[in-house]
Amino acid sequence: MGVAIVVTSGKGGVGKTTTTANIGTALAMLGNKVVVVDADTGLRNLDLHLGLENRIVYNLVDVVEGTCRLKQALIKDKRFDNLFLLPTAQTKDKTAVTPEQMQKLIDDLKKEFDYIIIDCPAGIEHGFENAVAGADRAIVVTTPEVSAVRDADRIIGKLEAKGLEDHQLIINRIKYEMTKKGEMLNIDDMTDILAIKLLGIIPEDEKIVISTNRGEPAVTDENSKAGKAYRNVARRIMGEEVPFLDLEEEPSGLLASIKKIFFKK
């Protein structure tokens, strides 16, 4: 029996879909059988992050409505045989599915897969209700900004009200330079304010934009810092104790390169 994890945030645009694609891929790279589920009906994006947009025939709504079987809607990843995508409909809205139908769907997936990662839409309405319906655990994504942290707190309250007590926090888009100057909330500030366990710290990384352009999650790029942070998150999800990344940026420029040659740590 697999584990279903919903990736949620309250506030939009903080990195839920990026997180879902990267964690799903990283868990598959670690040998798990994984399915990533797009629960953002009407605004689907997860297919783009994985570069699978041209392979979609059926979707989640078709499965729920009985137009096709679950197996027919699952799309196998290009790179990893043990990674699948369950896309959603782009031309329907969130009321096309009920929480009960979603719960049933996730329960069916749990029989086939080790991990089911669900990409939740922004907000606290119907789409949120659907995305969390079948979940055993939740990952709350936030960024170091007051509005995102406030919304994360609201979501944590909502999850607890539903009895979803197994929730952990991912802080995305940390800019080390700014936290060092005291101009951005740091990790301690946020874990202090939000009563939730920390699962990962993802640095701001241009490689995220590049990998989204290409449809290849950053975890497949050895040199991406965000990718490395997401690979660590995947190992923590599997129960491994992994120390948090040192966010100190590598010094750049010629002088720094020379320093690096002479002062190898």
Partner 1 sequence: MDLFKFFSKETPSKDVAKERLKLILIHDRANVSPQFLEMVKGDIIRVISDYAEIDESGLEIKLTRAGEQGTSSPALVANIPIKKMKEFGR
Ligand X SMILES: Nc1ncnc2c1ncn2[C@@H]1O[C@H](COP(=O)(O)OP(=O)(O)OP(=O)(O)O)[C@@H](O)[C@H]1O
Asked if 13 interacts with ligand X (CB under 6 A), we say: yes
Closest CA to 19 of 230, 214, 247, 240: 230
Number of residues located near ligand X, criterion CB under 6 A: 21
**Best CA proximity match to 15, nearest among 242, 164, 217:** 217
190-209 residues in contact with partner 1 (CB under 8 A) are: 192-193, 195
Pick the closer one to partner 1 by CB: 107 or 145. Answer: 145
What residues between 125 and 154 interact with partner 1 by CB under 8 A?
Answer: 145-146, 149-150, 153-154
Which one of ligand X, Mg ion, partner 1, none is in contact with 88 (Cβ closer than 5 to 8 A by kind)?
Answer: none
The nearer residue to Mg ion, 172 or 186, going by C-beta atoms, is 172
Question: Residue 13 binds what, of Mg ion, partner 1, ligand X, none (CB under 5 to 8 Å, by partner type)?
Answer: ligand X
Please check if 17 is assigned to a binding site: yes
Structure token digits, residue 224: 């991406």
**Smallest distance, Å, CB 122 to ligand X?**
4
Q: Is 12 annotated as a binding residue?
A: yes
- Closer CB to Mg ion, residue 34 or residue 122? 122
Give the residue carrying structure tokens 């769907």.
Answer: 105
Residue 191 corresponds to which tokens in the numbers above? 């874990």
Residues 204-243 touching ligand X, rule: CB under 6 A, are 204-205, 208-209, 212, 226
Q: Which secondary-structure segment (H or E) carries 102?
A: helix 99-112
Q: Are 17 and 215 in contact (CB under 8 A)?
A: no
Phi and psi for 187 in degrees, rounded to 5?
A: -60, -45
Residue positions counted in the chain = 265
Give me the residues paired with residue 4 across strands.
116
155 binds partner 1 (CB under 8 A): no
Nearer to ligand X, 22 or 32 (CB): 22
110 contact choice in ligand X, Mg ion, partner 1, none (CB below 5 to 8 Å, kind-dependent): none
Q: Residue 212 to residues 45, 47, 51, 109, 207: CA-CA distances in angstroms?
A: 10, 10, 8, 26, 8
Question: Is beta strand 167-174 parallel, antiparallel or unpaired with respect to 34-38?
Answer: unpaired
Looking at beta carbons only, is 4 or 14 nearer to Mg ion?
A: 14
Nearest to 53 by CA among 85, 82, 101, 91: 85
Beta strand extents in 68-154 (DSSP E only): 75-76, 83-86, 115-119, 137-142
Binding-site residue numbers are 11-18
Which residues in this chain contact ligand X in the complex, by CB under 6 A? 9, 12-18, 40, 45, 121-122, 172-173, 202, 204-205, 208-209, 212, 226
Which residues in this chain contact partner 1 in the complex, by CB under 8 A? 145-146, 149-150, 153-154, 157, 179, 181-186, 189, 192-193, 195
